[in-house]
Amino acid sequence: MLLVVIPLSEETGIEKIYSVFFKQDFAPDLILVLVWLAVSIATTYLSFLNGTPIRFVLAIPVILLIPGYCLLAALFPKMDDIDLMTRMVLSIGLSIAIVPLIGLGLNFTPWGIRLDPIVISLTIFTLIMVIVSQYRRAILPSEERLKIPFFEIAAAFRKEFLMKEGKKADRILNAILVLGILITLIITVYAVTVPQEGEKFTEFFILDENRTASDYPDLIIPGQEYPMYVGIGNHEFSDVRYTIETWTLLTEFDNVTNRSRIVGMDPGDRLSLILVHNETAIIPYKLSVKKIGYNRVEFLLFKETVAGPDITGSDRINASYRELHLLVNVQEGI
């Protein structure tokens, strides 16, 4: 008689993932990270909270602690890998390195270093690290998993700083230490929430159809539309109404004055919008020139007030708050 032993099938990858994320409890420290991150994002985008100190108090750990902590939690899921104090110190150091690296990466993308891309990037990074951390801890034996002793830390804090046992001098020193920490936090929050007003300026830029500053249309066929973008960034520390005007110009070089002079100037599109401080608008625009021979497209930006219709030519360009132009060659299509 032949006895066939069929081995019990091991848990498949899908079953293991299901067990890790749906059958086992989520680590309390990772839950705290997710809740803190969610509340911080809410205070950033809720209009009645984004101008209060609460937003900045919640945002500071998201920038200076959470990214590094989650990365360490993913790399070192065991309790004995790193002691708690070293883990906290390294979390701050890694966060200070991670956030600028994310900003550097965003600088080379069409989105740039702005609030929304930074929030989205930090959120995605944190979520990925949390998922990896939960998985790596869950596959370890329970006694080896990283556990943050919240209650023990709180008890040690109460015993060290709040209990009446011990020498009077020690209690006074502890009280001074706590007071110093509170004063430092208050000063930090004040410095972040009440920044000194810096230089006032407005960004004004044009981008090609790929949102880069390189491949602008130069050979133009009359009547054909060329997609591009016009951008405005308000850093004036107040709400500002901007007006964008486009003009097509025919210019000639004057050998006497050694400068270009405007021979013809036709109006194009006009757009008005209001931007709050630190808001950037990137507006789709379709460039079109109707006349053959025109060789320049002017983008004029007016702040609050717009020059009257009687001001034309170079006077109108000089009256604008910001000015950009493209040199083009308008020819009939073949």
pLDDT over 50 (residue 231) = yes
Residue 333 has pLDDT above 70, yes or no: no
CATH architecture group of domain 201-330: Sandwich (2.60)
User: 167 pLDDT exceeds 80?
Assistant: no
Which of 78, 79, 84, 94 minimizes the C-alpha distance to 136?
Answer: 78
Reported as a single tens digit per residue, the pLDDT across 289-312 is 888 888 999 999 999 999 999 998
Cα-based angle 298, 303, 305 (whole degrees, multiple of 5): 100
Q: What is the pLDDT of residue 149?
A: 77
pLDDT, tens digit, 9 for 90 and up, residues 123-152: 999 999 999 998 888 888 888 888 887 776
Give the whole-angstrom CA distance, residue 65 versus residue 146.
17
- Is pLDDT of 197 > 60? no
Taking residue 66's Cβ as centre, other Cβ atoms within 10 Å add up to 25
Average pLDDT over residues 311-319: 92
Report helix, strand and coil shares of the chain as percent, to nearest 5: 45, 25, 35
Give residue limits of the domains in the chain. 13-148, 201-330
pLDDT for the residue 4 = 46
- Is 37 in contact with 64 (CB distance < 8 Å)? no
Nearest CA among 232, 276, 203, 201 for reference residue 50? 276
The sheet that has 201-207: what strands, in order across it? 201-207, 226-235, 280-287
Residues 7-34, mean pLDDT to the nearest whole number = 71
Residues shown for the chain:
334
> How far apart are the C-alpha atoms of 209 and 228, rounded to whole Å?
4
* Largest CA-CA distance found in the chain, in angstroms, rounded: 113
pLDDT in tens, 78-111: 988 888 888 888 888 898 899 889 988 888 887 7
| Confidence grade of residue 161 (pLDDT, cut at 50, 70, 90) | low
**Structure letter (DSSP) for residue 218:** -
Instruction: Give the three-class secondary structure for 259.
Output: strand
Query: Mean pLDDT, the chain, as a whole number?
Result: 82
Q: Which two tokens stand for residue 48?
A: 């009645």
Instruction: Reduce the DSSP state of residue 78 to 3 states and report it.
Output: strand
| C-alpha span between 229 and 210 (Å, rounded) | 9
Whether 266 and 291 have beta carbons less than 8 Å apart is answered as yes
The pLDDT, as a whole number, for residue 1 is: 46
For position 8, what pLDDT does the model report? 44
The answer on pLDDT for 58 being more than 50 is: yes
Sign of CA pseudo-dihedral 326, 331, 332, 334: negative
Q: What is the DSSP letter of 214?
A: S
Other CB atoms within 10 A of residue 316 CB: 23
Cα–Cα distance for residue pair 240/277, rounded to 1 Å: 8
